[in-house]
Structure 1
Amino acid sequence: MNIESITNLSSATPPVASAPSARFTERSALGGKVKKILFIHPNFPGQFRYLAEYCAASPWFEVDFITEALPCGAPGIRMHRIVDNRSPRSESTAKVLRALKAAGYIPDLAVAHSGWGHDYYFRDIFPETSIISYPEWYHHEGDIRNEMLNVTLQNSDHVMVPTQYQKSRFPTRFHDKIRVIHEGVDVQYFSPATDVVFKYFEHEFKCGDEIITYAARGLEPVRGFPEFMRAIPSILNARPNVRVIIAGDQQSCYGPAHPSGMSWRKVLEDELKLPLERVIFCGKVGEPYLLKIFQISSLHIYLSRPFILSWSILEAMSSGCLILGNSGYPLQEVLTDGYNGVVCELDNISIAETAIRILESPGKFQHCRVQAREFAKKNYCSEKCVQNQLQLF
């Protein structure tokens, strides 16, 4: 049988969570039973990180998680790994679901990422179980991937998406089902600091140095990487002390690779011949390094074509970064020019001119740092977002 269950026996301290909401406290007082929650996401824990942690730390939930990830887990979560990588994801997940049902497991609620079809057969296997879908992205009209999404959306009791822009892409017939609830970011962890030193091989950066930062999952056109790179020469010429830190994977994560077969980074490095002592590529970094990069940043540049809003922009705002972002979606939902950041156009000339203007008078934009953090705390605090998600339970 193509199923591998991993029960996490870690002795690590369980995640800190708020007290269970009033409705669950009330249920316990009335003798209510523990609720079985099944999460489904190929990349544990994905967007369900904070919600799954909360449920695992609560006495009123029993948490299981189906994933494709390598053996992993968290305290209080029973893991079930999909090991059949030859079948379509909908079918390989269905095998795990059927095995769980055969073992006597029936969840009260499922929370599933629907973007890859993992919950396609869920309603057939557990017809009485409520399901909350997280479809994330509706593709262009005529895209065959939407056919599977349409089925899962029809079968779902509730649908969550993180931004209004993402909701707007779905057919209007589903809008009554869709709630805009972001999964949130850890605003306590991602917070400002003034005494940070970031070391990367022979390079050392500290607060007060003139540093431009850029971070993306992949260095690719979807996140404005070519425009950003082509803005750098003008910025370096105008600001002789500025250095640039770039964090992100060389591989394209959301869009096509360069026609040459080389990475976009390699193509642009060959084109621009940037001085590597001033332009530092850190590759893909973990949260501790990303936090330091945000904390030492003089100006954080986040660019995106219309697509999913990155966690990194919200984490940068929470860290008190001065943000320069481009106009249009998805940024216009979180960034207001002159209030909690600065807005430019998605072209190298506008990026360079605006960045130089900011670096010439950074004190004029100090209020944007303060408002960026306040905006993140008010609207994207993970604890508040979890409470909003629980309303769908």
Structure 2
Amino acid sequence: MHVLFLHDAFPAQFGRLGLELTRRHGWRCSYLVQQLSSCPTPSREMLESLEIHQLPLSADHRSSEGIPWPQIFGAYLEQCATVAEALRARPGLRPDLVVAHGGRGAPTLFLRDHVDAPLVVYCEYYFATSHRDISYRIDLPPAEPAPFFPRCINAPTLAALVDCDAGYSATRWQRDSFPDRFRPKIEPLFDGIDTELYRPGPPPQTLPIGGKDVAIPSETKVVTFVSRGLESIRGFDLFMEVASRILRERSDVLFVVVGGEEIHYGWDRLHTGSPSFKQWVLGRGDYDLSRFLFTGRILPEHLAEILRRSDLHIYLTAPFVVSWSLFNAMATGLPVLASDVAPVREVVESGVNGLLEPLFDVDRLAATALEVLARPADFEGIRRQARRTIEERYSLDACIPPIKGFLERVASGRGAG
């Protein structure tokens, strides 16, 4: 079968999926994308095995400021026209099925005019008007976010959902973020974690930081925090407060922080007046930065090494799409201390395969972290169950067969299950 994937970036959610469908089942997987991503970075095998057609970046996408959000729907229409023109110019791209990322990454409006194939939309998330995602951090300095921002960013998602034959979301919670009338059209299907890359193993004695191998003494405890962007929606400021409390009790802890300084979601610039939420946070606290290693963005294989050296992984998110880093840490067999919010509870059962504490209770988070660091043997069962959860429910072996079956159903005209 020939599947055409549409997304702003590659590999994003579709690169590994296409690679597995090609490897395991001999499918032809082609892509229309605007850019190659660094989060995650495409592997050499992806670039060699998959058929990637790159579209020119628009001036808005080239800008470091991105598209002003009141203009999102207009930019979406322009992107739809660009994709339609690209398909006209590539007569060999006549797939059996089209899979497009919902929202700004799903330029599907004119597809029916150029491709005679069923359409699947990846329904990543539907933004809320309040009490969730970017509006959840009311503890930060006041800003005046426009109340219609969620409606602007959701409009392309709704257009794609109306037009598609079926949709899928990574988790049930993400599926349930959509309006009730669309949920029967959306199946929860996770895309899969590479459990060969992210696995328990001997901890390395050096870590790849900033292009160098940094030696870590064996007696040092390592705590990890990973986020595509170090921003408020992923609780970077709360993590720094937790870390500061840990350091008051222990001098043998090193915090390894993975992620860029970009703000991808929310109102951080309005809250802080600074383009970097990380720098704003560090400038407001009295942190012993000699106990922190900030890596920036790194390759997946380097992240896997860092996680294998970690003694505890901290994941603090507002109610929003669950990050790959949570699954990667669990696959590595780490004890994960995470925020007790609904999307995380779908994956983590506190005391069984991880530990949950209230997002804003820094004292409880620090106390639980100190307990894990002081008595690691007591948490061996949680480590093993974390790995087992990923193997059984979220690994590539567990996830590719149901996604393949779903895509085959839609391609044959049977739609969502």
Q: Per the shorter chain, which TM-score range?
A: 0.7 to 0.9
Query: With structure 2 as the length reference, what TM-score do the two structures score?
Result: 0.80
**Cα root mean square deviation, aligned:** 2.2
Listed one character per residue, the Cα deviations across residues 351-372 of structure 1 (whole Å, up to 9, x for unaligned) are 1121112222121111111110
1:300–1:324: 8 Å Cα contact kept in structure 2?
yes
Which amino acid letter does the alignment assign opposite residue 7 of structure 2?
H
Query: Structure 1 residue 247: deviation in Å?
Result: 1.0
Q: Which moved more, 1:303-312 or 1:237-246?
A: 237-246
Aligned in 2, Cα 1:122/1:52: closer, same or farther, shift over 3 Å? Answer: farther
1:41 equivalenced with 2:7 (yes/no)? yes
For 2:295, what is the secondary structure of its paired residue? strand
1:175 Cα deviation (Å)?
A: 1.2
C-alpha deviation, 1:322, in angstroms:
0.9
Give yes or no for the alignment of 1:357 onto 2:371. yes
Give distance in 2, aligned partners of 1:330 and 1:186.
21
Residue 137 (structure 1) aligns with:
125
Distance 1:103 1:193, change over 3 A: closer
Structure whose CA Rg is larger: 1
Moved more, 278-287 or 331-340: 278-287
Aligned pair partner of 1:284 in 297, 301, 308: 297
Question: Hey, what's the Cα distance between the residues in 2 that align with 1:276 and 1:203?
Answer: 16
Q: Structure 1, unaligned stretches of length 5 or more?
A: 1-34
Aligned to 1:81: 54
List per-residue Cα deviations over 1:99-156 (Å, max 9, x = no partner).
4345434221001112215333244324631011002011225512222222211111
1:117 to 1:213, Cα distance in 2 relative to 1, 3 A: closer
- CA 1:102/1:276 → structure 2, altered by over 3 Å: closer, same or farther? closer
2:168 to 160, 170, 175: 160
C-alpha spacing 1:282/1:131, structure 2 compared with 1 (3 Å): same
Give the TM-score normalised by structure 1: 0.85
More helix as a share of residues: 2
Give yes or no for contact 1:190–1:316 (8 Å, CA) kept in 2: yes
Partner deviation per Cα, 1:49-71 (whole Å, 9 max, x = no partner): 22211233367533221001149
Secondary structure in 2 matching 1:391:
helix
Select between 290-299 and 206-215 the one with higher mean Cα deviation: 206-215
Go from structure 1 to structure 2 and tell me whether the alpha carbon gap of 1:58 and 1:373 turns closer, same or farther (over 3 Å shift): closer
Matched with 2:81 is 94
* Aligned amino acid, residue 77 of structure 1: L
Report 1:176-191 matches (<5 A). 176-191=184-199
Aligned counterpart for 1:231 among listed residues 242, 261, 272: 242
Q: Distance in 2 between matches of 1:313 and 1:84?
A: 31
Aligned to 1:281, what secondary structure does the other structure show?
strand
Matched with 1:303 is 316
Structure 2: which amino acid aligns with 1:88? A
Q: Does the C-alpha gap of structure 1 residues 297 and 58 become closer, same or farther in structure 2, counting only changes over 3 Å?
A: closer
Tell me, in whole angstroms, the C-alpha distance in 2 between the residues paired with 1:207 and 1:154: 56
Measured in 2, the distance between the counterparts of 1:349 and 1:58 equals 48
Change (3 A) 1:206 1:311: farther
Decide which of 98, 103, 107 is 1:115's aligned counterpart.
103
**C-alpha distance 196-152 of structure 1, shift in aligned 2 (>3 A):** same
Contact 1:130 1:156 in 2 (8 A): yes
Q: 1:196 aligns with which of 204, 221, 225?
A: 204
Pick closer, same or farther for the CA change 1:144–1:178 going to 2, 3 Å.
Answer: same
- Displacement of 1:378 in angstroms is 0.6
Which of 121, 125, 149 does residue 113 from structure 2 map onto?
Answer: 125
Secondary structure of 1:217's aligned partner: strand
Same amino acid, percent of matched pairs? 28
1:298 and 1:103 map into 2 onto residues whose CA distance is: 51
Q: Deviations over 1:263-308 (max 9, x none)?
A: 2221222222322221221122211221111101111101100000
Retained in 1: the 8 A contact 2:123–2:168?
yes
Shift of 1:216: 0.7
User: Distance in 2 between the 1:371 and 1:314 partners?
Assistant: 13
Q: Structure 1's 182 and 268: CA in aligned 2 closer, same or farther, altered over 3 A? A: same
Q: Distance in 2 between matches of 1:389 and 1:214?
A: 30
Indicate conservation of the 8 Å contact 2:337/2:356, yes or no: yes
Structure 1, 303-312 or 353-362: larger mean CA deviation: 353-362
Mapped contact 2:223–2:312 kept (Cα < 8 A)? yes
Give the aligned length: 359
- Check 1:153–1:111 CA distance in 2 against 1; reply closer, same or farther (3 A cut): same
1:366 counterpart = 2:380: yes
